Structure formats: C-alpha cells, structure tokens
Amino acid sequence: MSTPSNPSAPSVSLQQLLLTGLGIPAGVLAMLAMVVLPLPPLALDLLFTFNIALSLMIVVAVFTVRKPLDFAIFPTVLLIATLFRLALNVASTRVVLMEGHRGTAAAGHVIESFGEFVIGGNYAVGIVVFIILTIINFVVITKGAGRISEVSARFTLDAMPGKQMAIDADLNAGLINQDEARTRRTEVRSEADFYGSMDGASKFVRGDAAAGILILIINVIGGLAIGTMMHDMPLADASRVYVLLTIGDGLVAQIPALLLATAVAVIVTRMSREQDMGGEVARQLVAEPRLLGIAAGVLGLLGVVPGMPNIIFLSMAALAGGAAWLMHKRNQERATAAAPAGPATAAGETRELSWEDMQPVDLVGLEVGYRLVPLVDKSQGGDLLARIRGVRLKVSQELGFLVPAVHIRDNLDLSPNGYRIQLSGVPVGEGNVFPDRELAINPGRVFGPLQGMETRDPAFGMEAVWIEPAQRDHAQSLGYTVVDASTVVATHLSQLVAQHAHEILGHEEAQNLLNNLAKSAPKLVEDLVPKVLSVGVVVKVLQALLAERVPVRNLRSILESLAEHAGRTQDPQALAAQVRIALSRQIVQDIAGIAQELPVITLEPGLEQVLGNSVGAGSGSPGLEPGLAERLQGRLVEAARRQEIAGQPAVLLVPPALRPILARFLRATVPQMHVLAWNEIPDSRRVRLVSTIGS
C-alpha cells in the first residue's frame, strides 16, 4: 500500500541545495561520474554550453568586483571549473572515439559546430587555430599569471609583519578603533591566504593548458587508429572525421580555458585596495586629453603617408582629436565652476573695523603649506580631518577630558610641504611631509635599506625614508612601518597634545568635567567646589597631574582626595601629591601593567641627603652645582636606556619630599623616566631594585 504524499512537505530547490552546502560536493561527485559513465551527445551539448557560460560569468565577476578579496572564493571556483572541464574532455573523448565513425554529429552539435563552422570544416586550419590558442594560453597568459601569482603571494606574506605593525601604529595613534583594527588584521590575513591560494590555483590552470595539447595529440592518433583498424575507414575519411571532431572538442575546451586564464591574470594584476576597474581604466588611460591628442597627431601623420589606408587612419585621428577637444573643454568648465569667489566689493573693503575682526587665539592650531591643502580638502580625497578627529577621540579618552577642536588654516609663509602645530598661538612642533609619497619608519629592526629621501619621524625622531607608494609592499616586507602623509601629521599632533595636555586643560574644561561628574555625584561636587576649593585650585591640581602624564579620567577619586585634604592645605602642589597617593594603583598600572613586580632605580643615601638638604634650605629646586647635576642626568639617562633595552619601564623611586623636584628636573631631560615616591607604591606591588645612582 502506497503512502500518500504530504502536500505540505517543503520542496528543496536548487538554490536551497546550494545554500545548504550540498550542491558543491554533489557536483564534484557528478564530475567523477562523467569520467566513468558514458554520456549521450545531448548531455555533452548541455554541459559544454554550461561550461562556456560559467567561464563568462567568472570573467565578468572578476571585472566587476571592487577588490580581489570580494571574490575570495575564486581559487576554489577556478579549481572546480578546471576539474569540470577536464572531466568533460574525458567524456567527450570517449564519445568521439566510440561514435566518431558515424559522422561529425556523433559527439553532439556543439563539437560539430566548432569543428564545421568555426574552422570552416578544414582540419588543417583547425589545427593551426588550436595551436595558436594553446600557445597564447600556455606561453603568454597562463605563464604570466602564474609568475604574478607567485610573486604576489611571496610579497604579501613578507609584508604581513609590516602591515600588522602599521595597524598597531594607527591604533595607538587613535586613527582607528579596536573594531576597525580587528577588521584590518582579518583583511591582512585573508589577503595572504587569497594570494597563497591563487599561487596554487594558477598551477592547475597551467597544467590544464598542457593537458589540452596532450589530449589533442592522443585523440588524433587514437581516432585514426580506431577509424582505420576497427571500422575499416579510409585514411582520408578517418582523418577528416576524427581530426575535425578532435579539433572541435579541443576548441570547445580551450576557449573556456582561455577565459579562465585571463580571469586569473586580471585578478592577480589588480591592486588589493578597493577600486572600480572600469572607472579606473577610464580615469587613468583616457581621461587625460593630452593622451588622446598625441594619439590623434600620430594617426594623422600616418594617414597622410602614401600607400597607407588613409581614410581609416584619418578617420581615427579625427575621432581621437574630437574626443580630446571635448574632454579639454569639459575640464575647463569644471575648473571655472570650482574657482573661488572673487574679492569682496569695494564697499565691503572700506567698512570700519569692529571687535568681530579680532579673532581669538586658537587653543590648538595646525598650519599647512599650500601643497598640503589637498590633505584637508575632502573634495580632493583628503582624509586628514577624519584622522585628526580620531586623534582627538583617542587622546580625550586617554587623558580624561575633551581635547578642543583643531583649527586648520593654510600659511604661505611655510614651505610648500611644511606644517606647524601651535598651542595658544605658540608653535610647539613642525615638520615636512610629501602627499605623493609614504613614510617608511624603521622601528628598530629592518632587513635592508630603501631607496628614497632619508629623514626622521617628526613625532618620535626615529629613522625613516620617504618612498614612492609602489615601494610600500617591499618596505613592509623588510620590516618597515609604512604610513601616509596624513598619518604622519596626525601622529605628531597626537604626541604633542598628550605632551602638553596640562597647557590645554583650563577653567572651561575643568568646569565641564565638574558638571559631568555632578550628574552622578552631585553632593561631592557641591560640597567641594566652590565651598572648600575654588575652581582655580582644582585646575592647578589637574594640570599638575597631567604635566606628569597622570590622566584625570578618575575624577571622582581625585575630588574625594581633595575633599579629604583640602581642610589642611590649599597648596595645589601639596594637594596633587595627596591625589597621586589616592591614584597610586592607576599610576603604577599605567607604568608597569599588570606585573606584580615593579623594577625601580634608587639614589644612594648620600645623594638623597644632599638633595634633601637643598630642599630643606627652602630653595625652589635642588641646589646642585652644575657638574653634579650633569653627572646625575647622564647616569639617569643611561639607566633609562638600559631599562628600555630590557623592555622594562624606567622608574626612579625617591622620598616623597624629593619627588616633585626631581620630576620637574627630569621632565625635559629624561622624559621616559617615571619618578615615584615611596608612599605611591600600592601594597599589592613588589619592588625590585635594578640599580642605584650615586653622585
């Protein structure tokens, strides 16, 4: 008894089968079946047509994707398409050899059409055409694509460490966030995997081209032998039938192979960044009127030479010249439309001055030379504004207060490639960048030199070289960290803002901090400011912390400490010392991380006594004679260098009375040295003495 079918049971479509992941394995098994089982001519026609359509789809996809990684499955698709074509070759060879004696239609209409129509039924012409296609595919396209795939894979793998370092540098500079850094790292790994797979897949394409030649020779010899010996066909008839079928079969297979080899060559020669290939070709090749004008001139000269096809050459010259003229006119119209407005009217120029004409000094300013203006112009592809916005966000999060906006203006007094960073109208840093080049920074260990303009990184003073953009991958493979001009300026700005944070924070910023904290701790703020301490004292305390690289993120703990000790003193320096004790865990955490052991450098007791006596005498700074101060500075610089080489922080541990004075003394001379007092070490940390500095 039959079971009735359930009309509500869902039917599985071909698309659903592919989406579930079963379609590809089923297709591979079908390819193996094609090798073993004989196929009728109709099935061969359908499969050959599908093979051609598949190859065309792959070629179109290669040209339309924005970047190679958007077609990351291409190596696998290439392998499956190659196996499919080889399985078809085996299936068609079986049909040709078994049924060829019945005529040219025995192997299907597709093979017959390629044998009769494409080569005109002449097997000599067919052999020549097939050999030419095979030479083009095997010697030119496949060999070149394979070499490019090999080189791209090697350089991509070699450049991975440099790219990872560049991502880390952008992350540390605040140009990108954690999610974007994670995405870029994944993209770097995917790019390396893709080009490595393409290197292997190109070998399949090259092997497929070689197999096509061998299959042709074997089919011709086998067909002649079978036709003359097994079916008693005359040699001329056997040659005509079997050679035409073999050539038709070979052309049906070689044309898709040629398309796939072209697709491989196109995708490995594309740049890894996102681009519209059609638009890039139009922009870089035919968008310049001079190129078309030169081509028109050359074609015109050839068109007037006697004996040449004058009409054709002159027609093409006229077409190219007309296109060049139209493009030149369009560019002039765009330039006119984009021109800035004219000067103000005479009436506007003669108006009286007012207080609105007195512009306030920018707290943070950036001046650029005229060649750097495109970096800040979004219409010209400049991304410096976005990078500076990322710098402000990261530095604000690290310091604990909102860094004011950076005002950018051009300055014709600067060099064309120069820039200058100002705080309250006073220059604090400057440098030169080249928008058409990239800066390869030596992080300390590289594996070879680079050709370019040697310089130093303006932010940290490391050795660097300005290189051409085409050298980027090579520089990264040698271990350099490569950044563009916008990143150089943004990183320099980030470093200077963090260094001068105590000068940037003022009454307005402090009041905003208090207002924000009042939303969550209103009683604390109300009882402290202005009842016990004025805003001015709070500002000086916050500035003292920032001057010694202590963020003010934990404003609640800072104000609680001030509320505890404000009744005994109003001195900002004394209050800042008490706040540092309250923030001791944060300070040590920022210096040494989560390690339980803190390596420290101390002063000999005799030197501490000399410094203590000078402080006790009431002098505002250590009363050291110049020779002793110079020796102390030199020994601390050497100790800090040893700690840096060992990969450990440089920490000077001193008595509380000496800490503010030595911190101010070392701030400009040994900026990498952290000065801590004994009472600023949390109980949870162990101290390890690494060296002692004497007089």
Among candidates 488, 553, 482, which has minimal Cα distance to 516?
Answer: 553
CA–CA separation, 336 and 330 (whole Å): 10
SS (HEC) of 98-136: HHHHHCCCCCCHHHHHHHHHHCCCCHHHHHHHHHHHHHH
* Residue 104: C-alpha distances to residues 88, 116, 118 (Å): 18, 9, 14
Residue 172 · residue 495 · CB < 8 Å: no
Residue 395 · residue 403 · CB < 8 Å: yes
Q: Which fold has domain 359-500?
A: Glutaredoxin (3.40.30)
* Residue 338: C-alpha distances to residues 22, 191, 311, 378, 626 (Å): 57, 39, 41, 14, 62
Among candidates 210, 25, 243, which has minimal Cα distance to 116?
Answer: 243
CA–CA separation, 173 and 175 (whole Å): 6
Burial of 230 (0-12, 13-18, 19+ CB in 10 A): exposed
pLDDT at 1: 40
pLDDT at 695: 67
CATH class of 505-582: mainly alpha
Q: What is the mean pLDDT of each run of 10 residues along the chain (695 residues)?
A: 43 48 69 76 84 87 81 84 84 78 69 68 72 77 76 73 75 73 82 78 74 78 82 77 78 81 79 62 68 84 82 86 83 66 47 72 89 86 86 90 90 91 91 93 87 91 92 88 91 91 92 92 90 91 93 93 91 93 92 89 88 61 67 89 88 91 85 91 90 84
Q: How many CB atoms lie within 10 A of CB 623?
A: 15
Check residue 420 and report its DSSP letter: E
The phi and psi torsions of 481 (rounded to 5 degrees) equal -95, 115
CA–CA separation, 632 and 626 (whole Å): 10
Each domain of the chain, given as residue ranges in start order, spans 25-280, 288-326, 359-500, 505-582, 596-695
CA–CA separation, 441 and 152 (whole Å): 23
CATH, domain range 596-695: 3.40.50.12790
**Size (the chain), residues:** 695
Q: What is the DSSP code string of 380-411?
A: GT--HHHHHHHHHHHHHHHHSSPPPPPEEEE-
Radius of gyration for the alpha carbons in the chain, expressed in angstroms and rounded: 38
Long-range contact set of residues 330-336: C-beta below 8 Å, sequence gap at least 24: 331/289
pLDDT at 3: 42
The phi and psi torsions of 438 (rounded to 5 degrees) equal -130, 150
pLDDT at 164: 77
Q: How many angstroms from the chain centroid is the CA of residue 4? A: 60
CA–CA separation, 659 and 651 (whole Å): 12
> Dmax of the chain from CA atoms?
124
Planar angle of CA 107, 108, 114, nearest 5 degrees: 95
pLDDT at 563: 92
78-115: b (≥16 Cβ within 10 Å) or e: bebbbbbbbbbbebbbbbbbebbbeebebbbbbbbbbb
Q: Which residues pair with 689 in a beta bridge?
A: 600
Please tell me the pTM assigned to this model.
0.58
CA–CA separation, 607 and 521 (whole Å): 45
Burial of 690 (0-12, 13-18, 19+ CB in 10 A): middle
